């Protein structure tokens, strides 16, 4: 780009063609145009990095705008402010003089302000007999008015990119968590495959995430992490299809059908107030906790639970547990039955069990009794959520690959 130089009382300053074009553009502002000055400042703040500015540059710009008396920048108004360096330093929170001059130059270079120098380089205003400003020398704010729409578009783009970056990082976090859980599940269940090698790939991918990642870093690792997750899911899907044969579905259905209202094991106990004080329970033996499945898999199997989450949606395990409390009350499951399930299975798995009951509630005569029976079986180590979730996935017309 061609550059020239202009000698001023402040020394020689370079003048690029871009700066000349911007100065010309400020003289071609549409008649009657106006914009709220602090809105333009907020847009410029969002677009700071795109404009090549620093946070201190914005502090100086804020100080300059504070010297403009009106709230709106208007085309027909006097848009030149002429504070001294001492006044600017005061309003820029005691910024050093050299720092102030550097950031004023950055604001000029970014095209947000234009210098309007007097013959002697001083900043001042010349007034008429009526006390009105005829001419002023200092810093012209016209470029902010001229570029208001452009700055708004840049700010919107920056906000959209920031939102996309945040979403990509959230997706990477969720995908990492799912892959870690799926690898652990595969190792614990003895699924076929070299899971140590797969885990090493996972560790290598995580190690590639820098401390301060860019969008490109996150997207690159996320793509590979999703491919790894799909591969793991395919292997587990094949393993589950062979491990949980049709006999598992039959056992699940048979257990549901056996929950009849005449069974003393299935019925809810009567109110504790009617039966008297509830005898203290013996200490339960410690049992191996049920396996926690990724939330996306659970929601694919228990599709109705989302309707009972906060705001009609389930986006986290906390939301799922909140939904389970609502469903528990709706199905007539007593608080004690649900509390027992939480103590034995863990709160997350108890919520999943309630979601599974909700999916088949039309086949269950006593949801509370059914949950108590599942709790007793889990306490003895005879119950796993895996076959139940897989059965629901197949009956819902989905596969584990689609759920994750």
Q: What end-to-end distance do the CA atoms of the chain give, in Å?
A: 52
> What radius of gyration, in Å, describes the C-alpha atoms of the chain?
34
Q: For position 22, what pLDDT does the model report? A: 56
Contact predicate 359/256, CB 8 Å: no
Residue 3, phi then psi, degrees to nearest 5: -130, 155
Contact predicate 340/374, CB 8 Å: no
Does residue 29 come out as left (phi exceeding 0), alpha (psi in the -120 to 50 range) or beta? Answer: beta
C-alpha span between 295 and 284 (Å, rounded): 28
Q: What is the DSSP string of 328-347?
A: HHHHT--HHHHHHHHHHH-H
HSE-CB for 50 with a 13 A CA cutoff: 18
Q: For position 157, what pLDDT does the model report? A: 93
Q: Nearest-CA neighbor of 350 among 379, 386, 324?
A: 324
Q: Nearest-CA neighbor of 300 among 356, 345, 361?
A: 356
Token pair 């003289």 in the structure block, residue: 27
Token readout for 341 is 């399930």
pLDDT of 97-142, one tens digit each?
999 999 999 999 998 999 888 777 777 777 777 666 767 788 899 9
Q: For position 158, what pLDDT does the model report? A: 92
Q: For position 229, what pLDDT does the model report? A: 86
Contact predicate 321/351, CB 8 Å: yes
pLDDT of 270-289, one tens digit each?
334 434 444 444 454 444 44
Token readout for 221 is 């690792």
Q: For position 227, what pLDDT does the model report? A: 86
Q: Which residues pair with 80 in a beta bridge?
A: 140
**Pairing state of beta strands 3-8 and 11-16?**
antiparallel
Torsion angle, alpha carbons of 180, 185, 191, 193, to 10: 10
Question: For the chain, which residues score pLDDT lower than 50?
Answer: 1-14, 244-282, 284-289, 398-404
Q: For position 385, what pLDDT does the model report? A: 81
Angle at which helix 385-395 crosses helix 347-359, to 10 degrees, equals 40
Question: Residue 169: is it exposed, middle or buried by C-beta count within 10 angstroms (0-12/13-18/19+)?
Answer: middle
Token readout for 114 is 């234009």
Please calculate the CA angle 389-354-230 and round it to the nearest 5 degrees. Answer: 30
C-alpha span between 13 and 102 (Å, rounded): 12
Q: What is the DSSP string of 222-290?
A: HHHHHHHHHHHHHHHHHHHHHHS-HHHHHHHHHHHHT--TT-TTTSPPPPHHHH-SPPPPPPPPP-PPP
């Amino acid at each position: 780009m061609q550059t020239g130089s202009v000698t001023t009382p402040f020394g020689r300053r370079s003048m690029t063609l871009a700066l000349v074009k911007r100065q010309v553009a400020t003289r071609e502002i549409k008649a009657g145009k106006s914009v709220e000055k602090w809105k333009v400042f907020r847009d410029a703040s969002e677009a700071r990095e795109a404009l090549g500015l620093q946070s201190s540059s914005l502090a100086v710009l804020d100080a300059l705008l504070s010297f403009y008396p009106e709230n709106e920048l208007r085309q027909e108004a006097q848009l030149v402010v002429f504070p001294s360096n001492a006044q600017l330093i005061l309003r820029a929170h005691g910024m050093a003089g050299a720092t102030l001059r550097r950031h004023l130059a950055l604001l000029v270079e970014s095209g947000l302000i234009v210098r309007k120098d007097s013959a002697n380089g001083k900043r001042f205003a010349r007034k008429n007999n009526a006390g009105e400003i005829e001419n002023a020398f200092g810093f012209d704010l016209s470029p902010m008015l001229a570029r208001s729409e452009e700055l708004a578009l840049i700010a919107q783009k920056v906000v959209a990119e920031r939102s996309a970056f945040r979403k990509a990082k959230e997706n990477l976090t969720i995908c990492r968590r799912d892959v870690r859980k799926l690898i652990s599940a595969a190792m614990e269940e003895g699924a076929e495959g070299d899971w140590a090698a797969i885990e090493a790939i996972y560790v290598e991918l995580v190690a590639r995430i820098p401390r301060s990642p860019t969008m490109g870093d996150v997207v690159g690792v996320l793509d590979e992490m999703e491919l790894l997750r799909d591969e793991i899911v395919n292997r587990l899907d094949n393993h589950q299809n062979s491990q949980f044969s049709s006999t598992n579905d039959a056992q699940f259905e048979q257990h549901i059908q056996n929950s009849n209202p005449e069974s003393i094991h299935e019925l809810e106990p009567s109110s504790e107030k009617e039966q008297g004080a509830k005898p203290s329970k013996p200490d339960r033996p410690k049992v191996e906790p049920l396996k926690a499945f990724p939330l996306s898999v659970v929601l694919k199997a228990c599709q109705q639970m989302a309707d009972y989450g906060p705001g009609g949606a389930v986006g986290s395990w906390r939301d799922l547990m909140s939904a389970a409390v609502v469903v528990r009350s709706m199905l007539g499951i007593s608080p004690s039955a649900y509390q027992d399930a939480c103590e034995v299975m863990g709160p997350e798995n108890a919520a999943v069990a309630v979601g599974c009951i909700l999916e088949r509630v039309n086949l269950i005569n006593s949801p509370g009794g059914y949950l108590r029976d599942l709790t007793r079986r889990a306490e003895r180590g005879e119950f796993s959520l895996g076959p139940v979730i897989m059965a629901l996935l197949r009956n819902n017309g989905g596969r584990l690959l689609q759920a994750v």
